[in-house]
Amino acid sequence: MNEIRSISAKQVGRDVPRLESRQKVTGRAEYTHNITLPGMLYAKLCRSTVAHGRILSIDVSAARDLPGVHAVYTGETIRTLIAEPYFGPAFHDQPILAIGKVHFVGEPIAVVLAADPYVAAEAAQMIVAEYEELPAVFDEVEAMTSAAIVHETLKPAGTFADLKHLSGKSNTNVALDYQLRRGDTDAAFAAAEHVFEHEFHTQQVMHTPLEPMVSIAEPGDNCLTIYTASQSPSFVCTEIARLFGWRENQVRVKVPYLGGGFGAKLYIKLEALVAAAAMLARRPVKLSLTMEEQFYTITKHASTFRIKSAVNKDGRITARRCEIFWNGGAFADIGPRVTQKSGFTSPGPYDIDNVSVDSYALYTNRPPAGALRGFGIPQLVWAYESHTDLLARGIGMDAVEFRRRNLLREGRPQATGTLMHDAAIIEVLDKTAELMNWTAPFERGEGVIRRGRAIAIGFKAVVAPTTSGAIVNLSADGSAALYMSTVDMGQGSDTAMAQIVAETLGLVAERVKVVHPDTDVTPYDMATLGSRSTFHMGNAVKLASLHALEQLGAMAREVGLPEGTNYEIRDIFLKKYGMQAGNIIGVGSYVPPYTSPQKGTGLSDNVTPFWMVGAAGVELSVDTETGHVTIDRLINVADVGRPLNPAIVATQLSGAAMMQLGFTLFENMDLDHGQVTNASLADYKIPGMHDLPTVMDNVIVDNNQQNGPYGAKGVGETATFGVSPAIANAIEDAVGVRLTSLPLTPESVLRGIRALRGEKLEG
Amino acid sequence: MRGFEFLRPGTLNEASALLATGDAAARPFAGGTGLMLMMKTGVFSPSRLVCLRQTEAEHRAITPTGDGGARIGALASLSQIEHDPLLCRLAPVIARTMTTLANVRVRNVARIGGTLAHGDPHMDMPPTLAALRASVVTSGTASRTVPVEALYAGYYETILQPGELISAVLLPDQTGWHSVYLKCTTRSADDWPALGVAVSVRMDGTTITDSRVIISAATEKLTRVAAAEAVLNGATAGLAAFTAAGEAARAVETIEDARGSAAYKTELVGVYVRRALQQATGAGGN
Ligand SMILES: Cc1cc2nc3c(=O)[nH]c(=O)nc-3n(C[C@H](O)[C@H](O)[C@H](O)COP(=O)(O)OP(=O)(O)OC[C@H]3O[C@@H](n4cnc5c(N)ncnc54)[C@H](O)[C@@H]3O)c2cc1C
């Protein structure tokens, strides 16, 4: 069989079944939870019971005396090892264990180590802390001006140039104030035919990966090995090395499969704690969070978005002002990036000459917030697409027609001034309208049931600039292995990347081996986040494969084979080495071109290497006696460039849409003075099979991302964009009720229906 | 988690003796599905668990009672009840309710005795059985028969005394009765209900001769709504009577939680009682 020539060009675009499927269904796939090491201790945390307070004392004596307890550490113990034990990707604001004060209910204040996890858990409950409570702030808008200050001084990490001006600032909860200014909004509003202004809210929700966070650290001689369920092994390595004042090569980070991530397992989470504990105890230490503890670890930003638009008599939007407040909780995590990188898309995928954006990352005394499947975009699309429907309604224009008139077209400048390329915005809108049969009459329901329909469309710029590296090892028998630090957390990256290797080298994707992240072995990758891997790592993998191919060509020439030889790879090796020996190492690294936005205006001629576009079309029924909403049909339409693996793309679209459906209709972290009151899966509900829409279609429009690997781009988040506003818009279409806060509960719908009749719910 | 005793007596009487110690942290253990959740979340730390499963041979049978009803042993599993031919004929509402009760794994393990003794007002079987006029038989020092609706003293509280165990459930003859249970969730489909409504109506032609209206989940404990029954009894089945019964049921005291405000749940009570009656009788539209 001649593998080099015959299979080529049939590997991408093919529904290659996921490489790890068999391992997973037979229970053989490796997860951090299954790893135990000789002499390993289990860690259990004791957490703060107050939202904001100065620590007066932590009494660990009873815990330490419990038989079976190996050690109990507090922030002060950690300090004997690391002088400044604070970490974080944007700000060094998060202590490994609380020092001096606590910032939210659930913040870790002490850790117990024991060989038996149940002993550790019991001891953790015996720790008694005393606090002097401080005034707390929970609301993001109040945090702008509140007297309660979460952190005395701001401590930007220094890695980001645009955060430098915040260094040492005190008496503020604003972790980042991002601005964009384009055109003259004041003049445009003054001259406007119509002006509309609305305010929208989103609630705090959680990633809920079904594999809770887990990390293990194994100490060595001036070195550490960390096994962790992380989406960003390279960052963990860098940050642990920084904390210990070590070289990167003293820290080895290994990541097997993840049972979901969704942004929860980014940057560092438990790794710093297990690393410090392992170094102090000189024993391997494992920390596995319970599902309940995840509620105190990382969440999705609650937000408030004030949006104002000017519309002229032709139905063109002439100006838009956006003010967004992001509730970052107690630690910045990646919130400042969300604030900025998503902030610049907050006017939506519309061609508007005059735009102003103010986006604020705020500290509050809630559990910290980070990136969750969309990096802030779903919060923005929720607001601007609800608003856009209200504009169309306000001027009496069809919602699809209004959008078509205002959407950005190829070559037009987005709010930052970057020209739009390869973003199939109009195509996505038109496809959605076509699938919904938009121009045909619509069945409106009867009796107590009222039906409505609507659409919403959003876009996202991939976070830039970021780097990926890959190594392809071509063995003498013609088989290939790919070494990369992209983490397969269920999204199918191993398979897609194997397809790129196979396509480029003329192999069969199923036979490409993918070596999982191990910072001693696999090259740097910024992280598996923000739909960046297919594009960035995909390009790096393609470059590495091409590099290998180039060397193979050189080898063929060297052994006297003609250009375009049909010799198999192993025969070329055999001719060179006289036996099955040797290998070819192809390396590739990719960082896209990028222009930093100007300070103050936020303008840039190249703010992102690609745009993702997603729309949702919704048909629903409302029970007007109870407010219950049934989603009869949900259509997800996406521009993903050329899909590398259409079947995996479809599951990414349906999965993202379902996740957003939960955030839209019911998921909500209930907080009582900063205390999460529903921190369990019994009380915090995520969608299940019975919550699926009656009909759900996932559709990809034809497009080619010219700078992407084989025309592809990211897809993991795209189907989250339109779901929330499309549902809210369809509810208004059905019953005339406009909801401006998520989640869209049956109670809020019923209250809206009653309010329209001038009635209130009693009680 | 501290250690605890796990005992496996062979009879309910022995079990009662092992439990009548005055220690509130000693509890009977049937399927364990309710207890284990409480233990995992730290709500309950047992000192002693007395497993009842060794008594299964004697206490899991489902048998006809001779007067048209059935006797269900306390150790019968929910799956067994769901698929039992006698019960499916006598009260098909039970099997229908089971389809949205937890999942098959829980139903395979949970026992009817544990289900009734748990006292969580969000559960589906207590209102269903109360509407069917079922009662529980207890064993222990003072054996007694208690109607299901009288079993509950409050939130997670029953009137059972320490050492008093449920040994069986008695289901009366259902001839002439029509029953429905409606589970109303306001978040995900598999959430605990915001409201459970179970109704049973006995009809003579189009006249309602007797009825049961039971509310759960929205209230602190399972509640039989006599006012709604009074509206129904003697009335002609139809929209007017059902709407009036719904209105009367709104008088129950609902409580606010993450699933909805008290006022909203009161609205749901009115609507769901009416709809349950419509479905049970096929009268008054739907
Ligand atoms: C994942 C999950 C989903 C669920 N979903 C639902 C749902 O949708 N609807 C619903 O109704 N329920 C639901 N439940 C609750 C479930 O119905 C109860 O856990 C179950 O019925 C309890 O029965 P058990 O035999 O396991 O009781 P156990 O856990 O053994 O006992 C429960 C309580 O009863 C006491 N007890 C047990 N037997 C007796 C006896 N014979 N006499 C006196 N006291 C006794 C125990 O001491 C304990 O206090 C769910 C549970 C789980 C775990």
Under the banding of pLDDT at 50, 70 and 90, the label for residue A2 is very low
Sorted by where each begins, the domain ranges of chain B are: 5-51, 60-171, 177-281
Give the β-pairing of A695-700 and B207-216.
Answer: unpaired
Q: Does A615 share its domain with A734?
A: yes
**In what helix (H) or strand (E) does residue A121 lie, and over which residues does it extend?**
helix A117-124
Mean of pLDDT values over A228-237: 98
Q: Does domain B60-171 have CATH number 3.40.50.300?
A: no
Query: How far is A654 from A636, CA to CA, in rounded Å?
Result: 8
Closest CA–CA distance from residue A250 to any residue of chain B (Å): 37
Structural contact between residues A634 and A453, judged by C-beta atoms closer than 8 angstroms: no
pLDDT of B284 reads 82
Q: Does domain B177-281 have CATH number 3.30.390.50?
A: yes
Contacts of A625 in chain B (CB under 8 A): 267, 271
Give the three-state DSSP class for A307: strand
Mean of pLDDT values over A396-420: 98
Give the three-state DSSP class for A759: coil
What is the mean pLDDT for each group of 10 consecutive residues in chain B (286 residues)? 87 95 93 94 92 96 97 98 98 97 97 97 98 95 92 96 96 97 97 98 97 98 98 97 98 96 98 98 83
pLDDT of A4 reads 37
For residue A180, being part of any structural domain is answered with no
Give the three-state DSSP class for B234: coil
Q: Does A604 share its domain with A721?
A: yes
> Across the interface, do A761 and B37 touch by the CB < 8 Å criterion?
no
Q: Please state the pTM of the whole predicted model.
A: 0.97
Give the three-state DSSP class for A496: helix
Strand ranges in A371-478 using DSSP code E only, listed in sequence order? 449-461, 468-475
Specify the CATH class of B5-51 in words.
alpha beta
Sheet containing B145-147: which strands, arranged edge to edge? Answer: B62-64, B70-73, B165-171, B135-139, B145-147
- Nearest 10 degrees: Cα torsion B90, B93, B99, B102: -100
Structural contact between residues A749 and A756, judged by C-beta atoms closer than 8 angstroms: no
Task: Tell me if ipTM is over 0.90.
Answer: yes
Burial class (CB in 10 A: 0-12, 13-18, 19+), B270: middle
Q: Whose CA is nearest to atom 6 of ligand 1?
A: B102
C-alpha B222 to ligand 1 mean position (Å): 16
Identify the weakest region by mean pLDDT among A66-70, A73-77, A700-704, B1-5.
Answer: B1-5
B84 to A344, B60, B70, B90, B200: CA distances (angstroms): 62, 12, 11, 10, 21
Under the banding of pLDDT at 50, 70 and 90, the label for residue A434 is very high
Closest CA to A225 of A245, A249, A243, A244: A249
Q: Does A563 share its domain with A610?
A: no
pLDDT of A1 reads 28
Q: Which atom of ligand 1 is nearest to the CA of B33?
A: 26
Q: Which atom of ligand 1 is nearest to the CA of B36?
A: 29
Burial class (CB in 10 A: 0-12, 13-18, 19+), B95: middle
B168 to A492, A638, B62, B74: CA distances (angstroms): 52, 58, 9, 5
Encode pLDDT of A678-705 as tens digits.
999 989 999 999 999 999 999 999 999 9
pLDDT of A7 reads 40
> Across the interface, do A746 and B186 touch by the CB < 8 Å criterion?
yes
Query: With the C-alpha atoms ordered B272, B273, B278, B283, is the resulting torsion angle positive or negative?
Result: negative
Q: Which of A523, A555, A590 is the last residue of a domain?
A: A590
Q: Which residue of B has its CA nearest to A117?
A: B1
Q: Which of A134, A168, A188 is the last residue of a domain?
A: A134
Q: Does A488 share its domain with A629?
A: no
Closest CA to A649 of A615, A698, A610, A687: A698
Closest CA to B26 of B162, B167, B153, B164: B162
**In what helix (H) or strand (E) does residue A619 lie, and over which residues does it extend?**
strand A611-623
Structural contact between residues A93 and A155, judged by C-beta atoms closer than 8 angstroms: yes
Q: Does A532 share its domain with A499?
A: yes
Contacts of B37 in chain A (CB under 8 A): 682
Query: With the C-alpha atoms ordered A201, A203, A204, A207, is the resulting torsion angle positive or negative?
Result: negative
Q: Does A408 share its domain with A541?
A: no
> Across the interface, do B261 and A747 touch by the CB < 8 Å criterion?
yes
Exposure string (b/e) for A249-282, b if CB count within 10 Å is 16 or more?
Answer: ebbbbbbbbbbbbbbbbbbbbbbbbbbbbbbbbe
pLDDT of A530 reads 94
- In sequence order, which residues have a C-beta less than 8 Å from that of residue B44 and are 6 or more positions away? B25, B27, B35, B38
pLDDT of A599 reads 86
For residue A494, being part of any structural domain is answered with yes
Cβ–Cβ contact B286 with A under 8 A: no
Structural contact between residues A461 and A341, judged by C-beta atoms closer than 8 angstroms: yes
Structural contact between residues A75 and A96, judged by C-beta atoms closer than 8 angstroms: yes
Q: Which of A571, A590, A609 is the last residue of a domain?
A: A590
pLDDT of A9 reads 57
Q: How many CB pairs under 8 A join A and B?
A: 65
Length of chain A: 763
Number of domains comprising chain A: 3
For residue A141, being part of any structural domain is answered with no
Burial class (CB in 10 A: 0-12, 13-18, 19+), B176: exposed
Query: With the C-alpha atoms ordered A663, A669, A670, A674, is the resulting torsion angle positive or negative?
Result: negative
Length of chain B: 286
For residue A579, being part of any structural domain is answered with yes
Q: Does A353 share its domain with A405?
A: yes
Q: Does A452 share its domain with A470?
A: no
**In what helix (H) or strand (E) does residue A188 lie, and over which residues does it extend?**
helix A185-190
Q: Does A568 share its domain with A603?
A: no
The yes-or-no answer on residue A717 being catalytic is yes
Q: How many CB atoms lie within 10 A of CB A170?
A: 9
Q: Does A321 share its domain with A343?
A: yes
Structural contact between residues A335 and A326, judged by C-beta atoms closer than 8 angstroms: yes
Task: Share the mean pLDDT of chain A.
Answer: 96
Query: How far is A419 from A413, CA to CA, in rounded Å?
Result: 4
Closest CA to A347 of A139, A602, A140, A656: A602
Query: How far is A710 from B60, CA to CA, in rounded Å?
Result: 64
C-alpha B33 to ligand 1 mean position (Å): 5
Mean of pLDDT values over A111-117: 98
Under the banding of pLDDT at 50, 70 and 90, the label for residue A6 is very low
In short, whether B69's Cβ falls inside 6 Å of ligand 1 is no
pLDDT of A5 reads 38
In short, whether B17's Cβ falls inside 6 Å of ligand 1 is no
CATH assignment at residue A558: 3.30.365.10
Q: Which two tokens mark B258?
A: 């993450």
Encode pLDDT of A314-370 as tens digits.
999 999 999 999 999 999 999 999 999 899 999 999 999 999 999 999 999 999 999
Give the β-pairing of A369-370 and A354-362.
Answer: unpaired
Q: Does A582 share its domain with A606?
A: no
Q: Does A480 share its domain with A455?
A: no
Sheet containing B195-204: which strands, arranged edge to edge? Answer: B177-184, B195-204, B207-216, B223-224
B82 to A245, B66, B86, B118: CA distances (angstroms): 63, 21, 10, 19
CATH assignment at residue A65: 3.90.1170.50
pLDDT of A3 reads 33
For residue A95, being part of any structural domain is answered with yes
The boundaries of the domain holding residue A478 are 3-26+466-590
Pocket test for ligand 1, best of B5, B106, B112, B124 (most atoms within 8 A of CB): B106
Structural contact between residues A425 and A458, judged by C-beta atoms closer than 8 angstroms: no
